[in-house]
Structure 1
Amino acid sequence: MMILTIDTTVANIVKEVPRTGDLFRELRIDFCCGGKIPLHQAVKERGLDVEEVLAQVLEVERKQAQHDRKLPSSLEPVELIAHIQEKYHVKLREELPALTPYVTKLVKVHGERYPHIIRVNEIFKHLKRELLDHTDDEDKNVFPLIKEFFLNPSTETANLLKPHLTELEDEHENAGNLLKELNEITNSFQPPDEACGTHRLVLKRLADLEADTFHHIHLENNVLFDRVRQVI
């Protein structure tokens, strides 16, 4: 682990501690295209106190390390379901509607200049609908079945679960393909040099959505669902 100091570049800080990206967004410190400068320089340009900002960075690092020590894969199935719902489902229900007006604005203002943005909007709409329907189905139907199965295993519950798991995995694959296309057509979510603030915001939040969704899918496909299949 890199030791973070006022001489560490902003980009490297976010690379080491991704959650500092939220802090830098709040402080309006550019960690994307303008991130290859030392923290002290970036902070000075914003007229902020460098020691205070470094303290905030180190606090984010401490909290992230504390969170990461308890690996989700070590949780029992019922605990893992709660973790998935709290960390990913709640966030999706907040982030997808919140991001929608920015994507809509981007395609209206820059769709003609950057034609691929039109496709970004189409994919985002499709992804939003799919992910929200998918998480609702899990929360209302599948996760209660999994909890019931582990609390009171039965052949009947196992038979009910099997087709649900296959369907959810197919939906995961479809969501993954949509995210991969988004990644490809946006050059890995890298904004053009002349991109406006909305353009940069949309691409950064889509990149975060991709990262979260792949972790989310991994925990369900390769941890939770595998544990169910080991028993049924």
Structure 2
Amino acid sequence: MSQNSSSTTRRTVVKGAAWAVPTISVGTLAPRLAASLRIDPGINGWVLNSPESLGGCSYRLEVNSNPSNAGSTPDGAPFGLYLYDVQPGAVITNPQITYWIIGDQTASWTNLTGHGSCWGNASRGTPQTKSDGLLYTPYTWTYSNSPSCALNPANVDGNGRLWLQHFRSRASFTQPSNRCNDVTYWTQRRITIDPYGDGNPQVLTFERRNGTRGPYSGSQARMAPQTEQSTGAPVVAVS
């Protein structure tokens, strides 16, 4: 679970596993998968988000999908990034991870030891207002589609997971004065999957808010998994 501090300190502002939400019971999983696993469309898995105050309005935010001594995850699944329910003929492309940091700032991201080369570097996007009505700046990593980074369904492990490379990067940034004590962020995952390799790809995406303000529970929050067709139009939303 995420641990939220009631006051900003020089050390950790908020530290916890992304997707720290109640576990969904899944009764139709293959026997090798525990019934309590949380399985979302697209990129699954747990990462450790560690914001830290540096004094004033300056912060660091480290994201690590392979932390050491981090303890167990809420559903018992391992830390890391992976796909479930991959069909043998699936074609998988364009995995993306986006961190939306509250406010209009320019963060400098440094990839740390253990960061997979297929993830590359962050790209800053144009600040936008999210569903909670607040302005955020997006930083996106896109997984390479080169042959050496291809996600091959034949590599699904004995627990039904197809693993992506580990992700570990750290941002340094200074917040604008109106967000000086606020390190709220949305984490978004997105991937294109043609389940049977028959030319009918789907874009699978979902996002959640974490950090200073905690999870967002407003009526327009995309807290639940959401499946999109490649056109981007929502098809299924599970609450």
Name the structure where helix makes up a greater proportion of residues: 1
TM > 0.5? no
Q: TM-score, normalised by structure 2?
A: 0.24
Q: TM-score, normalised by structure 1?
A: 0.24
Q: Could you say which structure has the greater relative contact order, defined with CA pairs below 8 angstroms and 6 or more residues apart?
A: 2
Name the structure where strand makes up a greater proportion of residues: 2
Higher radius of gyration, 1 or 2: 1
